[in-house]
Amino acid sequence: MPDDLHMTPDEFRRHGHDVVEWVAAYMERVRELPIASAVRPGEIRGRLPEAAPEEPEPFAALLHDLDEVVLPGITHWQAPGWFAYFPANTSGPSILAELASAGLGAQGMLWATSPALTEIEAHVLDWLVDLLGLPQHFKTAVGPGGGVIQMSASDSTHLAHVVARDRASRAGAPIDRLVAYSSSQAHSSVERGARIAGFSRVRLVDVDDAFALRPHALREAIERDLAASLVPTIVTSAIGTTGTGAVDPVAEVADIARERGMWHHVDAAWAGSAMLCEEHRPRQAGAERADSYTFNPHKWLFTNFDCNVLWVADRAPLIETLSILPPYLRNLPSESGEVIDYRDWHVPLGRRFRALKLWWVLRSYGAAGLRHHLREHIALAQELGRRIDEHPRLERVAPVSFALVCFRHRQGNDATDVLAAAINAHPNLHVTPSTVGDTRFVRLAVGQTRTTADDVERLWTAIARAA
């Protein structure tokens, strides 16, 4: 065994250039690869040796297996024919920022453990407050609120429930009396986050014909709970539900939350990106009065997973819930109160430099460039919606929302499932079959980085042929 097995900087150069080439070639060929992995359960594991290797393997073996073992097991979220789920789109600057961040290997648990990690994050999230038309008090530079990068919207939504729970507990409410609310169409992370936070009562409130929360139903649920001596604690509004892209009446929910002293969390995980375009901001009216707001640049803003943003209107209750200071983390800048220590803003203590990719994406595209591409995706979705409306055998199940199109076959659920299967039988197209109520439907989200009008045309041809 040689004395030093670490990859030298020169080896890193050589292998690094190979990996860059591999990724560039992947970008070139992903359009042609069958999107859905065709492996059977256990097939990938079956190609791996029973035990870890005892002796070092050359880098060439790793690269070889990237093609031979990994690639067959990848479902290609970065293919331009990806219309499934929501996008998890990426971009060159974001991928390269991940490389630079990994190379620096800095850890931003405290301001002092790498001030650039904290300050660039705080600053770029303040930029985004303006870009999304959110209120000034969400900015760390203004306060009392501020923004922080989390891993996922599930984490942020869970955390909102934890902070709301603690605020209610401090006011004397027993934890088993607390109630969390959202619409029945809210993302599963809302109910899940509430239950993880210890809420045993989660009310999924009725929705209207457009799948948006009915404020009247929310009021009724709250009244019933108050009458039963329960404590309404938090309500989540969705801007762009995962099911159909529905937008809850955020302003009315904000009114109700304020009346009842409840925490109001806004989940704009996917649709938040659209708020860069002023014409969509009326749909988030009322969000300026929210206690917390979350959106995912890692869905539809060309920024690699993971990158979720959580803003709070007031950082004090967040920090009060999460701050515990052991001696080995004490340091002068923290004690001066002049700096942000993001360790107190989320469940994890450690944190990598995720703001770098957001900063690089915002600068590489410019705000105008991001709006340009978002508007393009939205226009493509609107055009698809128009064609569906004109087609005699198809109908939308919900209004086209931002860049999400939900439709069905007029002959019913079976015909709709056949339609979805026929689209997904095209190796270079991928959509999600879903259900709302008893209705099966096909869910199309336009938003992969390289999706163009031609790809949407391919999709439409497949839909029309199958219909």
Residues 58-117 that bind a copy of itself (CB under 8 A): 59, 61-62, 66, 69-78, 85, 88-96, 98-107, 111-117
- How far separated are the first and last CA of the chain, in Å rounded? 64
The answer to whether residue 165 forms part of the interface with a copy of itself (CB under 8 A) is yes
Stretch that binds a copy of itself, among 221-229, 286-294, 347-355, 387-395 (CB under 8 A): 347-355
Residues 244-273, interacting with a copy of itself (CB under 8 A): none
Residues 184-203, interacting with a copy of itself (CB under 8 A): 187-189, 191-193, 195-198, 200
CB of 94 to a copy of itself, least distance (A): 7
User: Could you give the dihedral angle defined by the CA atoms of residues 421, 68, 30 and 446, in that order, rounded to the nearest 10 degrees?
Assistant: 50
Separation in Å, CA 330 to CA 24, 105, 341, 349, 355: 44, 22, 11, 14, 24
Stretch that binds a copy of itself, among 23-31, 215-223, 383-391, 459-467 (CB under 8 A): 23-31
Q: Total number of residues binding a copy of itself (CB under 8 A)?
A: 156
Residues 207-246, interacting with a copy of itself (CB under 8 A): 242-243
DSSP annotation string for 284-324: GTTGGG-SEEEE-HHHHSS--SS-EEEEES-HHHHHHHH--
CB of 234 to a copy of itself, least distance (A): 14
Contact present, 19 and 63 (Cβ < 8 Å): yes
CA–CA separation, 355 and 411 (whole Å): 48
CB of 11 to a copy of itself, least distance (A): 6
Neighbours of 307 (CB within 10 A): 21
Stretch that binds a copy of itself, among 5-13, 385-393, 408-416, 417-425 (CB under 8 A): 5-13
The answer to whether residue 415 forms part of the interface with a copy of itself (CB under 8 A) is no
CB of 280 to a copy of itself, least distance (A): 18
Q: How many CA atoms lie within 13 A of 220 on its CB side?
A: 10
Pick between residue 11 and residue 220 the one whose CB is nearest to a copy of itself: 11
Residues 271-300, interacting with a copy of itself (CB under 8 A): 298
Give the helix, strand, coil percentages of the chain, each rounded to 5.
50, 15, 35
Pick between residue 200 and residue 411 the one whose CB is nearest to a copy of itself: 200
Pick between residue 284 and residue 449 the one whose CB is nearest to a copy of itself: 449
CA–CA separation, 65 and 75 (whole Å): 16
The answer to whether residue 379 forms part of the interface with a copy of itself (CB under 8 A) is no
The answer to whether residue 327 forms part of the interface with a copy of itself (CB under 8 A) is yes
Residues 135-154, interacting with a copy of itself (CB under 8 A): 141, 151-154
CA–CA separation, 423 and 413 (whole Å): 15
CB of 259 to a copy of itself, least distance (A): 26
The answer to whether residue 412 forms part of the interface with a copy of itself (CB under 8 A) is no
Stretch that binds a copy of itself, among 171-179, 205-213, 219-227, 389-397 (CB under 8 A): 171-179
What is the SS3 assignment for 445?
A: strand
Residue 406: strand pairing partners: 443
CB of 318 to a copy of itself, least distance (A): 12
* Interface residue with a copy of itself, options 56, 144, 261, 412 (CB under 8 A): 56
Contact present, 206 and 237 (Cβ < 8 Å): no
The answer to whether residue 435 forms part of the interface with a copy of itself (CB under 8 A) is yes
Pick between residue 5 and residue 390 the one whose CB is nearest to a copy of itself: 5
CA–CA separation, 215 and 261 (whole Å): 16
CB of 390 to a copy of itself, least distance (A): 26
* Interface residue with a copy of itself, options 213, 297, 434, 462 (CB under 8 A): 434
CB of 441 to a copy of itself, least distance (A): 10
Which has the closest alpha carbon to 380: 437, 431, 454, 309?
454
Angle at 325 between CA 324 and CA 329, to 5 degrees: 140
CA–CA separation, 188 and 445 (whole Å): 18
